[in-house]
Structure 1
Amino acid sequence: MFPICMRFPESAVHALWECEAAKDVWASSLKILQKGVSGLDDFTHLLEYLLDRIELHDMEAVLVQAWQIWNQRNRVVHGGKFHDPRWLINRAKELLEEFRTAQDQMRTESVQQPAHGTWQPPPQSVFKLNFDAAVFSGLNRSGFGAIVRNEKGEVMAVMAAKGPKVFCSEEAELLACKKAIEFAVDAGFLKLVIEGDNSSVIIAVSLLKIDQSLLGNVVGDIQHLIRNLHWIRIDCIRRRGNRVSHVLAQFARNITEDMYWMEDVPPIVREALYKDTNFVV
């Protein structure tokens, strides 16, 4: 039996939605939730029901509130205090505000087109991830390039990867950005300056709001990846300051599988690397 009401068999949908204790919480929440449907089969159907009726921004609040309701169940099972609905609602609001504030602080301070045209080093103990994409229309595919460097300009990791057929350069750039961040995170770089040369892509990735465009799903994936980083800044650089990743993206035309180098400089980018790192320490 469900340990809160001791009247019905325990299930996720009962605990989070149909139990009278849960209904008391939702009754003081969003107006649309105050007369919710009953008789849902499982938690998946509950989510589908909510997603059809609630704006995505409000869905964050719903999920945090549901988490609080489930935590209440766990607390009672282990002998803890049963909190009244108002306490749960206020606590959910506090947690959501803390989360959103943390995201604001973690995100980029500003997105600017630097006055300089050369690659610049990241802050100490931070790494810079440059990425670029190339579209090979005749081959019905694209290519991605990325490079990670430290504050001394030393190469830490390099990637050249195959990409799918795309419908526009912005799609290719977004996919390259996603692939580059995945590569950097997998390699263990969690404090990043992320830099690309497509201003519209950089701005889309940097915004806190949900992207409703046709490429919004890719933007959302990138924003999800960014939230897992420990420190982040996102910049736009002119093409001549992004030479290495550009060469790598073009090189991807000729590869049959993705290629990676760790703390090594592939011969194809040595000249571009020399020009790209023409900065003053």
Structure 2
Amino acid sequence: MVDGLFVEEDAKLIKKIPLSQHMSEDSLYWPYTTLGNYTCKSDYRFLKEEEELQLNAQTPPICHKRVWKEVWQMQALPKIKYLLWRACCNVLPTKQALMQRKILEDPICERCKRVVKDSELLSWMIEKGKSLELRAYMACTIWNQRNKVRLNLQASPLHQVAAQLAEMLAHFKASTEASGMQVRSNGSRGNGGQAPQAGFVKVNFDGTVFGELNKSGVGVVIRDNNGVVLASCSEKLTQAYKAEEIETLAAQKALMFTHELGFQRAILEGDALGLIQALKSQKQNLSPLGSLVEDVKVYSNHFQRVLYSYVKRNGNSVAHILAKHAISIPDFQVWIEDVPSHIVPFLYSNVTHLH
């Protein structure tokens, strides 16, 4: 029917709109908050962002994918990466930025006594054949030194800056290499969630989008408090939904699958923090996702009790791989007390984290 009434492009967009399972009236919503409710704080933030966009129109931020990739993958302290990210977005409180916001009137640098443009500060980031880590530490050191001079604090002489930053970078690399295995192992702990209390089953869900194929996938795994798999499933959907939409649909399908198997007390766990917060919230959700979130809440009334839990992605790996597996099945597939063979290693890893 949709294909017959609309042109092809419009029909595709319409069919990608997920429909709610219950009747709901249309309503206006505020697009700058998670729940769609208007707040003075969000309005103020919106106006300030608009103002800054106009101020920075002549000096657009660096958006090249290669630059972002190199910045976030370089071997450096998180604060160094964050400084470079802020510099790329033109949000550092430099003289030029503060003058644009009418906070300062004097563009002269306290140390070099010259007018310095932000573009000069950032140009070294994309030079080829240079050590990005070394130059990142250099930028951070110079930034800190200039701030000390500005605040009349003791600063290092210029001829010592290069030696200090080289020593700092060498110390970071040495300590990272020495504790690399420990950092990785510690980072994996606490991300696998906790075992459910007796009488409850844990239902992990996830959704994924196959954009090029115009498909989406849902994965669900149900386990008891010992980590034993009670059931799992993968389902392929015929539309490529948005990421937040497929996560919400996956949560609903996870509850439906759990209820069909006869479980009455469940902990619904996923790696979409915004969705979990929305499910826990008692406030009215006016956002475009509100009706889908309400569907999940309404379906939870079929259970004696449903709890909601957030877990990081590596603690939700089994459900994630089941969602990815959906592209290789006709439409819907169920495994009772089992998972596909290629997921078993991830299952053992999750069980170890649960205990």
Determine if the TM-score, normalized by the shorter chain, exceeds 0.5: yes
Bigger Rg, structure 1 or 2: 2
Computed over aligned residues only, the root mean square deviation of the Cα atoms, in angstroms, reads: 2.1
SS at the partner of 1:151?
coil
In the alignment, structure 1 residue 276 sits paired with structure 2 residue 350: yes
In the alignment, structure 1 residue 121 sits paired with structure 2 residue 195: yes
Unaligned runs of 5+ residues in structure 2 are 1-22, 27-188
Runs of 4+ residues deviating >4 angstroms: none
**Structure 1 contact 133–142 (Cα < 8 Å) conserved:** yes
User: Which residue number in structure 1 is paired with residue 253 of structure 2?
Assistant: 179
Residue deviations 1:22-61 (CA, integer Å, cap 9, x gap): xxxxxxxxxxxxxxxxxxxxxxxxxx9xx89xxxxxxxxx
In the alignment, structure 1 residue 244 sits paired with structure 2 residue 318: yes
- Report % sequence identity: 33
Residue 154 of structure 1: CA displacement?
0.6
Q: How many residues align?
A: 171
User: Which residue number in structure 1 is paired with residue 279 of structure 2?
Assistant: 205
User: Which residue number in structure 1 is paired with residue 215 of structure 2?
Assistant: 141
Residue deviations 1:165-217 (CA, integer Å, cap 9, x gap): 24421001001111111000111111011100010111112222332111222
Supply the AA of the counterpart residue of 2:338.
D
Supply the AA of the counterpart residue of 1:221.
D
Supply the AA of the counterpart residue of 1:175.
L
**Structure 1 residues 280 and 140, CA gap change in structure 2 (3 angstroms):** closer
Supply the AA of the counterpart residue of 1:180.
A
**Structure 1 contact 131–177 (Cα < 8 Å) conserved:** yes
SS at the partner of 2:352?
coil
**Structure 1 residues 164 and 202, CA gap change in structure 2 (3 angstroms):** farther
SS at the partner of 2:344?
helix
Greater CA drift, 253-262 or 122-131: 253-262
**Structure 2 contact 216–241 (Cα < 8 Å) conserved:** no
Partners of 2:248 and 2:354 in 1: how far apart? 30
Partners of 1:167 and 1:141 in 2: how far apart? 8
SS at the partner of 1:227?
helix
TM-score relative to the length of structure 2: 0.46
Supply the AA of the counterpart residue of 1:266.
P
User: Which residue number in structure 1 is paired with residue 10 of structure 2?
Assistant: none
SS at the partner of 2:297?
helix
Partners of 1:164 and 1:179 in 2: how far apart? 15
User: Which residue number in structure 1 is paired with residue 206 of structure 2?
Assistant: 132
Residue deviations 1:134-172 (CA, integer Å, cap 9, x gap): 110001110000000001111001010112424421001
**Structure 1 contact 205–223 (Cα < 8 Å) conserved:** yes
SS at the partner of 2:353?
coil
Unaligned runs of 5+ residues in structure 1 are 1-47, 53-114
Alignment map for 1:8-87 (pairs within 5 Å):
none
Partners of 2:251 and 2:191 in 1: how far apart? 20
SS at the partner of 1:279?
helix
Supply the AA of the counterpart residue of 2:348.
Y
**Structure 2 contact 190–353 (Cα < 8 Å) conserved:** no
In the alignment, structure 1 residue 196 sits paired with structure 2 residue 267: no
TM-score relative to the length of structure 1: 0.57
Supply the AA of the counterpart residue of 1:210.
Q
**Structure 1 contact 131–176 (Cα < 8 Å) conserved:** yes
Aligned residue among 196, 215, 222 for 2:296: 222
Partners of 2:295 and 2:238 in 1: how far apart? 17
Residue deviations 1:46-90 (CA, integer Å, cap 9, x gap): xx9xx89xxxxxxxxxxxxxxxxxxxxxxxxxxxxxxxxxxxxxx
